[in-house]
């Protein structure tokens, strides 16, 4: 790991503030990054002061004046080169993601691959930032719409995807002509430093203005400065619903834009017509992947009465085969939770479930002994519950899977929708009518609805996001680029007269 840290210019104590290649002397408090894998200190980062933040914003404003005038395909070429740099550093960055965050090494590599994929997507997008042409009701007139960059995009990312979500926002924002200020999670600052290091080298080689890619590390105060700052027209925030409500209120108070990707409470419906063996893979990975710390993690299984006992038995058997341990060992399935606070939240959720009458088919608990010295390793648990339990209505960022019975599809869909969150959902069925009903207007109320795949994971080609307390934002693919631009409608009169719309007469 020491070699990887040196590769990305990370060692000892580091400044957590930069405007690209220019690393500022940070004036805030010190953040120590501990690995949940073994509990060891990796490195330190000095957070931004308010003066640091002001300097970064001013540099970003100046950079925007120049960057927005670069042709979009030229901006796309820079992003293409960044994708190539990420390909070259995929193994090292993936290992750092795994070690600092605690997700499995395969998931660490997958996260970097997701960054590479969004670079590829953004390169193509740089030649497709198109508007519409419309027929005017007035003779000798032409109407069309075009899209212009917004300016500074503030990005607040979470620990569970410490680099991928930044890339979803920044790559699209950059080809759109925006500049970015990134506030990473204070739990995973080193992966952010590594990404900034990679981007800075590519940007410097292409003469990109200083301030197009900025990093401001710190605690929630940095997010509060950004959310209240009228110089930042868009704040994209990923995290808990509680955090999102605070960001949304602050940004809304100044009539700015907030792109919010918040909590999930995702369910898979297991139909009587499901392929149970195939369903098992999606359910188990969805529940225990990243130790249950994905916003798309499977929290609930809504299982038809006729297959409930059989599928529960399959789950219990599969959980007995899970290997929990060092995520850099590719033989293990489940790594640690991010820290001991997350462990306490996991234990409290288990106790709350029992207090409400839940029974555990697979008991949870904290693992101790050799290999578990960090105190962050827990057992994935399975509980039989009712959907209206308070703890079931709440998102717990841990590997606790709730089982719920149903008897007909209308009931199952109502149970699926009967939580405050609305991110990801799925149904496992070979019945075409059931699949179509699940995807219909009367079906899932989530932003993501899948058939015969799980809730966890998403391809960058589709817009990612959810409804209700998930926030309503959309990132990554499809037409998500529009969030990073402002729409302008243009009317051109090429006639010799000036008729008014709606037939209004105004003669002098």
Residues 6+ apart with CB under 8 A from 31: 16, 44, 45, 46, 47, 186, 189, 217, 218
33 to each of 61, 167, 190, 496, how far by Cα in Å?
Answer: 31, 21, 7, 68
The CB density around residue 144, as the number of other CB atoms within 10 Å, is 14
- Show Cβ contacts of residue 433 under 8 Å, excluding neighbours closer than 6 positions: none
Contacts of residue 330, Cβ cutoff 8 Å, sequence gap at least 6:
104, 105, 106
261 is catalytic: yes
Q: What are phi and psi of 465, to 5 degrees?
A: 160, 180
Report the SS3 class of residue 344. Answer: helix
Specify whether the CB–CB gap between 38 and 373 falls below 8 A. yes
Write the DSSP assignment of 244-299 as a string of letters: HHHHHHHHHHTT-EEEEE----EEEEE-TTS-HHHHHHHHHHHHHGGGG-STT-EE
Q: What is the dihedral of CA 367, 368, 370, 374, to 10 degrees?
A: 90
Q: In what side-by-side order are the strands of the sheet with 141-149?
A: 133-135, 141-149, 485-493
Q: Is 142 helix (H, G, I), strand (E, B) or coil?
A: strand
The continuous run of DSSP H or E covering 147 comes out as strand 141-149
C-alpha–C-alpha distance, residues 67 and 75, integer Å: 8
Q: How many residues does the chain have?
A: 508
Cβ neighbors of 357 (< 8 A, separation 6 or more) are 385, 386, 389
Residue that the structure tokens 């002098």 belong to? 508
Question: Is the distance from CB of 41 to CB of 33 less than 8 angstroms?
Answer: yes
Local structure of residue 367 (DSSP, 8 states): -
Which of 55, 100, 210, 261 is the catalytic position? 261
Q: What amino acid positions are annotated as catalytic residues?
A: 261
């Amino acid at each position: 790991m020491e070699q990887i840290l040196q590769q990305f210019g990370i060692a000892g104590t580091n400044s957590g503030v930069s405007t690209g290649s220019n690393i500022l002397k940070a004036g805030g408090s010190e953040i120590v990054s501990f690995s949940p894998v073994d509990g060891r200190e990796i490195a330190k980062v000095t957070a931004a002061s308010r003066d640091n933040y002001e300097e970064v914003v001013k540099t970003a404003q100046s950079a925007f004046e120049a960057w927005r005038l670069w042709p979009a395909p030229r901006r796309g070429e820079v992003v293409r080169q960044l994708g190539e740099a990420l390909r070259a550093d995929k193994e090292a960055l993936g290992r750092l993601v795994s070690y600092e965050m605690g997700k499995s090494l395969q998931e660490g590599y997958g996260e970097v691959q997701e960054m590479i994929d969004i670079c590829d997507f953004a390169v193509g997008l740089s030649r497709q930032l198109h508007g519409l042409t419309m027929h005017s009701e007035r003779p000798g007139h032409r109407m069309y719409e075009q899209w212009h960059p917004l300016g500074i995009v503030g990005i607040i990312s979470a620990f569970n995807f410490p680099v991928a979500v930044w890339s979803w926002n920044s790559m699209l924002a950059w080809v759109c002509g925006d500049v970015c200020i990134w506030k990473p999670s204070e739990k995973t600052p080193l992966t952010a430093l590594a990404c900034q290091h990679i981007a800075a080298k590519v940007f410097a080689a292409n003469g990109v203005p200083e301030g197009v890619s900025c990093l401001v590390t710190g605690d929630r105060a940095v997010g509060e400065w950004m959310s209240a700052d009228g110089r930042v027209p868009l704040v994209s925030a990923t995290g808990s619903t509680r955090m999102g409500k605070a960001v949304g209120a602050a940004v809304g108070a100044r009539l700015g834009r907030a792109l919010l990707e918040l909590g999930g409470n995702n369910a898979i419906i297991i139909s009587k017509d499901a392929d149970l063996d195939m369903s098992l893979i999606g359910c188990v990975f969805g529940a225990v992947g990243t130790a249950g710390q994905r916003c798309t993690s499977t929290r609930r299984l809504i299982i038809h009465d006729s297959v409930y006992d059989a599928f529960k038995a399959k789950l219990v058997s599969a959980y007995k085969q899970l290997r929990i341990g060092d995520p850099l060992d590719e033989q293990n399935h489940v790594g640690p939770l991010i820290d001991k606070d997350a462990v306490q939240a996991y234990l409290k959720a288990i106790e709350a479930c029992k207090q409400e009458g839940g029974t555990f088919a697979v008991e949870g608990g904290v693992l101790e002994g050799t290999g578990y010295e960090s105190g962050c390793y827990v057992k994935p648990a399975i509980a039989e519950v009712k959907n209206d339990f308070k703890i079931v209505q709440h998102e717990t960022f841990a590997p606790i899977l709730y089982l719920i019975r149903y008897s007909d599809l209308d009931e199952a869909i109502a149970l699926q929708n009967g939580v405050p969150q609305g991110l990801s959902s799925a149904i496992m069925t070979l019945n075409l009518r059931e699949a179509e009903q699940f995807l219909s207007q009367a079906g899932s109320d989530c932003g993501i609805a899948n058939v015969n795949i799980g809730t966890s994971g998403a391809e960058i080609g589709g817009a990612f996001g959810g409804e209700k307390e998930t926030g309503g934002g959309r990132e990554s693919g499809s037409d998500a680029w529009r969030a990073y631009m402002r729409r302008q409608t243009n009317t051109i009169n090429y006639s010799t007269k000036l008729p008014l719309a709606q037939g209004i007469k105004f003669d002098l």
